[in-house]
Amino acid sequence: MNSENTKFDIPFRLLYTMIRVADLERSVAFYKSALGMNELRRENFTEGRFTIVFVGYGNETSNALIELTYNWNEVNYEIGTGYGHIALMVSDIYAACKRFENMDVKIVMEPGPMTYAADETGHKEEIAFIEDPDGYKIELIQASVN
């Protein structure tokens, strides 16, 4: 099938990040209603007894997504200390966090400028951290105005 496609000189691309969740509908509801993502694709694997749902902000042909994996017989996971977080760009981090507060979303770090600038421009990013229903950390980063 490859021979017919001429777009192979495209660079590799990060497609998605997969996380396992204990309650699929709870997670889908969170990523949709709290974070404003769309459910883009859902697949059930009856034999393997798992369901995967892809959520994200745009079409998967041009946007990175999150893959939520729900194993039908497994609800206990340990996040460990290696995995960090997923970061999202938001247009108004303070308004977003106010909204999260009203929705009882767990805010683990209130929005504010970073202690240090992340690059040589000296611009201190405004960030916040929230938690998804499974306790995965999600970083919010204020979109720069320019």
Partner 1 sequence: MKRILHTMLRVGDLRRSINFYTNVIGMQVLRTLDQPDENYSLAFLGFGDESETCVLELTYNYDKSEYNMGNAYGHIAISVDDCDTACADIKSKGGQVSFEPKQLQGSNEIIAFVVDPDGYQIELINRPYIEN
Closest CA to 89 of 53, 57, 133: 57
Site string for partner 1, 92-111 (x = CB under 8 A): --------------------
- Annotated catalytic residues are 139
Of 42, 58, 95, 106, the one binding partner 1 (CB under 8 A) is 58
- CA-only gyration radius of the chain, Å: 18
Of 26, 50, 51, 77, the one binding partner 1 (CB under 8 A) is 77
What is the CB neighbour count within 10 angstroms for residue 94? 14
Nearer to partner 1, 73 or 116 (CB): 116
Cα 20 vs. chain centroid, distance in angstroms?
12
The two beta strands, 107-113 and 65-71, are unpaired
Provide the binding-site residues for partner 1, judged by CB under 8 A: 1-2, 5, 7-8, 10-20, 35-36, 56-58, 61-67, 69, 77-91, 115-116, 118-119, 134, 136, 139, 141, 143
